[in-house]
Amino acid sequence: MTIQAANPVNETYDIDAVRAEFPILQEKVNGYPLSFLDNGASAQKPLAVINAMRHHYEHCYANVHRGAYTFSEETTAAYEGAREKIRAFLNARSEKEIVFTGNATGAINLVAYAYGRGILKAGDEIVISHMEHHSNIVPWQILRDETGVHLKVAPISDEGEFLLEEYKALLTEKTKLVAITHVSNVLGTVTPLKAIIDTAHSVGAKVLVDGSQAVMHMPVDVQELDCDFYVFTGHKIYGPSGIGVLYGKEALLDAMPPFMGGGDMISSVTLEKSTWADLPAKFEAGTPPIVQAIGLGAAIDYVSGVGLESIAAHEQALLGYATQKLASIDGLRVIGTAPAKTSVISFVMKDAHPHDIATIADQKGVALRAGHHCAEPLMQRMGVTGTTRASFGMYNTHAEVDALVSAMEKVKEFFG
């Protein structure tokens, strides 16, 4: 993904039809039409997702896997059908490789616990990068403190570009895991993922990819990437909250001990011992997020129906237009200008705190994110305490970019 400097409109993309599917976009905020530019934190939901979840709650809700009655069988079929949709979406080999979790954070913690504590040992090395979300830093720090593994950090440039050669120099025969983002939630930088994975494999290391900021912007083929683990969360890809996905190669998941114990993850239980269920049930203890999974399946269907390539082209046009427009505002500096990036713009403004910027924008109906974005080490690397972030999705428009620019002019006027 490369930033477009011009401001083209994708003539083949029916933005009006897309927006009509998201009821919340008709809302007004402080008397202004809503311009929702916080999609990197959580995206809005189309009718396809809302209706799918409502249907199951209203007409056939039951617990899954256990019931020998109609509603349980129907709900189980829909729940497992969502798993197959996600398998196909990621091009995983088997449904056994798709584990439902509460979110991407839960998926990373599952790997940190079951793979980290079950497979790794003191002296082994884990490599992360400066761009990671806290959810891909803190679990590895906890693992380091508990087990004695070592943590290394791959650097980035001042522009926010992943430094591949410097990363390669960090890898040794002791490197057992690389935990890396696919797309930075702050900078929008797209990492050279295939090269990162291939280099890690050349020294015998496994690779976990945080795809939470990627799957809604670009096709992901886990077999082509050859990653060992890939995680994402439902609420950023226009699905519900409370549902995440862990993809893991079947052989690795088979070798890992369970993360949690309880119902549905067992084959048999006696008072003396328990044996584990087959994949993926081994990692899905207790009643799962049933309707959330069904909603995520509906979101996958919806996004796939519109087409990720078409969505990406639309978002890149917005990114190019916004980059050009914001560059005209004196005192505004974009943080993260790597040539390969998705539709995220983080910025600072002279004499204006990010929270003040977001507050003034909200007065004009523009929803932005402000702060460290759960990426404090990245803020430190870029020499700022926080940024204001605009993140674009499939339903955003050039008019909303204009509203953003108008709000920033108001900020400039307010702070002199």
Residue 67: the pLDDT is: 83
Is residue 260 helix, strand or coil?
Answer: coil
In tens, the pLDDT along 302-348 reads 999 999 999 999 999 999 999 999 999 999 999 999 999 999 999 99
Closest CA to 206 of 141, 127, 149, 266: 127
In tens, the pLDDT along 44-103 reads 999 999 999 999 999 999 999 978 999 999 999 999 999 999 999 999 999 999 999 999
Is residue 381 helix, strand or coil?
Answer: helix
Domains of the chain, with CATH numbers?
15-44+307-415 (3.90.1150.10), 50-304 (3.40.640.10)
Establish whether 60 is a catalytic residue. Answer: no
Closest CA to 368 of 382, 342, 387, 341: 387
Residue 3: the pLDDT is: 38
How many Cβ atoms sit within 10 Å of the Cβ of residue 243? 26
What string of DSSP letters covers 144-193? HHHH--EEEEE-B-TT--B-HHHHHHH--TTEEEEEEESB-TTT-BBP-H
Closest CA to 274 of 287, 259, 263: 263
User: Are the CB atoms for 212 and 42 separated by under 8 Å?
Assistant: no
Q: What is the pLDDT along the chain (416 residues), one digit of tens a residue?
A: 333 333 455 568 999 999 999 999 999 999 999 999 999 999 999 999 999 999 999 999 999 997 899 999 999 999 999 999 999 999 999 999 999 999 999 999 999 999 999 899 999 999 999 999 999 999 999 999 999 999 999 999 999 999 999 999 999 999 999 999 999 999 999 999 999 999 999 999 999 999 999 999 999 999 999 999 999 999 999 999 999 999 999 999 999 999 999 999 999 999 999 999 999 999 999 999 999 999 999 999 999 999 999 999 999 999 999 999 999 999 999 999 999 999 999 999 999 999 999 999 999 999 999 999 999 999 999 999 999 999 999 999 999 999 999 999 999 999 97
Residue 12: the pLDDT is: 82
How many Cβ atoms sit within 10 Å of the Cβ of residue 77? 12
Cα angle, residue 149 at apex, residues 111 and 176 outer, rounded to 5°:
60
* pTM of this structure: 0.96
User: Are the CB atoms for 97 and 253 separated by under 8 Å?
Assistant: yes
Report how far residue 116's alpha carbon sits from residue 228's, in angstroms, rounded to the nearest whole number: 14
Selected catalytic residue, list 374, 376, 377, 415: 374
What are the residues facing 129 on neighbouring strands?
154
